[in-house]
Amino acid sequence: MGAITVKYPVLLVNFKTYENATWPKSRHLAECIMAARQKTGANIIASPQLFDLNPLSQSIPTFAQHIDPITYGSNTGYALPEAAKAAGATGTLINHSEHKLAFSKIKKTMEAAKRAGLLVCICAPNTKEAKKIAKLKPDMIAVEPPELIGSGISVSKAKPEIISDSVKAIKAISPETHVLCGAGVSTGEDVRKAIELGAEGCLVASAIVNSEDPETIILEMAGNLEAKK
């Protein structure tokens, strides 16, 4: 699975460290994603905990939740990019609001990810930071206002200008970078609105991971990925 090519629009599901997304329960989430991929043809990627990358990447494409800018050697407690790749990861998240990095560290981590052959999705809390990150020309930038993460209030509804402004700003600097929308995305309508505002996918988490029926939510979101802009 590590060699797949990401197609857009994309739904990137962050498992975080929720109990429902910790092995062996994470296996059920992976099965729901696999079923939704087969039913809709949509590109849905899981971002599980590092310990779950290997078993889950056998059936679905995966992104690591984080890696460190290190090489082989004496680095106890750090996440080696090459290890994530070997475990089956296609890419990695960097700079999520729950794991913030200084810009210099973001740059070094992206370089390490590219060295290992991983795609990169860098998170940004606002348009200003997204513009700065765009200069690095990552594969994806996920714009996520931290105050809306896990709120159930989608940024595409609460602050739509953040998405549209970020898309324009990022594309002006790095046309090849794909812009994702995150923070509070909870329904298919939220996804549709994000796509209409110019996003090329969504980074989602609790609405799916903590749902009693995650497959239904995934199918609903996946069904709205192709909304007209």
How much is the pLDDT for 148?
Answer: 57
CA distance 224 to 222: 5
pTM value surpassing 0.95: no
Which of 11-20, 93-102, 156-165 is predicted least confidently? 156-165
Beta carbons of 201 and 9 less than 8 angstroms apart: yes
What's domain 10-69+77-222's architecture?
Alpha-Beta Barrel (3.20)
CB atoms within 10 A of CB 104: 9
Please give the share of the chain, as a percent, with pLDDT higher than 90.
82
Which is more confident, 148 or 33? Answer: 33
Residue 199 in this model has a pLDDT that exceeds 80: yes
Segment 137-172, tens digit of pLDDT: 999 999 987 665 555 556 666 678 888 999 999 999
How much is the pLDDT for 2?
Answer: 40
CA distance 97 to 211: 22
* Range 93-104 average pLDDT: 96
How much is the pLDDT for 151?
Answer: 54
Banded model confidence at residue 184, pLDDT cuts 50, 70, 90: confident
Residue 4 in this model has a pLDDT that exceeds 70: no
CA distance 155 to 125: 11
- How far CA 227 is from CA of 13, 15, 192, 200, in Å, comes to 19, 25, 6, 10
CB atoms within 10 A of CB 23: 12
Which of 51-55, 163-167, 178-182, 223-227 is predicted least confidently? 223-227
Supply the mean pLDDT for the chain.
Answer: 91
Q: Which of 82, 98, 111, 144 is catalytic?
A: 144
Q: Which of 96, 129, 200, 220 is catalytic?
A: 96
Beta carbons of 221 and 33 less than 8 angstroms apart: no
* Range 198-221 average pLDDT: 94
Reply yes or no on whether 96 is catalytic: yes
Beta carbons of 227 and 181 less than 8 angstroms apart: no
Banded model confidence at residue 1, pLDDT cuts 50, 70, 90: very low
Whats the size of the chain, residue-wise?
Answer: 229
